[in-house]
A = this chain, B = another copy of it.
Amino acid sequence: MNTGINSGDTAWILISTALVMLMTPAVGFFYAGMVRKKNVLSTLTMSFVLLALVSVQWVVIGYTLSFGPDMGGIIGSLKWAGLTAVGQTPNASYAATIPHLAFMIFQMMFAAITVALIVGSVVERMKFSAFLIFSLLWATLVYDPIAHWVWGVGGWLRQLGALDFAGGTVVHVNAGISALALVLVLGKRKGYGKDNMEPHNIPHVVLGAALLWFGWFGFNGGSALAANGLATSAFVVTNVAAAAAALTWILLAWRERKPSALGFATGAVVGLVAITPASGYVTPLAAIAIGAIAATCSYYAIKLRMRLRVDESLDVLGCHGVGGMVGAVLTGVFASTAVNAAGANGLLYGNPKLVLIQAAAVSVTLVYGFTVTWVLAKVIDKTIGLRVTEKEEDVGLDMSQHAETAYALR
A residues with a Cβ closer than 8 A to B are 1-2, 5-12, 14-15, 17-19, 21-22, 25-26, 28-29, 32, 36-38, 40-41, 44-45, 48-49, 51-53, 55-56, 59, 82-83, 87-89, 98-99, 101-102, 104-105, 108, 128, 196, 198-204, 206-207, 209-210, 213-214, 217-218, 221, 226-233, 235-236, 239-240, 242-244, 246-247, 250, 257-262, 264-265, 268, 283-285, 288, 341, 401-410
Contact = CB atoms under 8 A, between A and B. Distances in A.
A239 to B, nearest CB: 6
A403 B258 contact: yes
Given A56-B240, A239-B21, A261-B45, A229 B402 contact: no
Nearest to A203: B406
A198 B235 CA distance: 40
Given A49-B250, A227-B7, A235-B105, A214 B21 contact: yes
Given A2-B229, A235-B14, A25 B200 contact: no
State the copy count for this chain. 3
A182 to B, nearest CB: 21
B403 A104 contact: no
Contacts of A285: 59, 82-83
Name the prevailing secondary structure of the A interface residues: helix
Contacts of A28: 206, 210
A259 B402 contact: yes
Contacts of A209: 25, 48
A264 B87 CA distance: 29
Contacts of A227: 7-8, 10-11, 14
Given A51-B213, A99-B228, A102-B232, 17 more contacts: A5-B228, A6-B8, A7-B226, A7-B227, A8-B227, A21-B213, A25-B209, A25-B210, A28-B210, A45-B261, A59-B285, A88-B228, A88-B232, A98-B232, A105-B235, A202-B405, A259-B401
A202 B38 CA distance: 12
Contacts of A6: 7-8
A264 B55 contact: no
- List of 8 A-B pairs having minimum Cβ-Cβ separation, nearest first: A7-B8, A88-B229, A25-B210, A8-B8, A55-B243, A11-B227, A11-B12, A52-B243
B229 A99 contact: yes
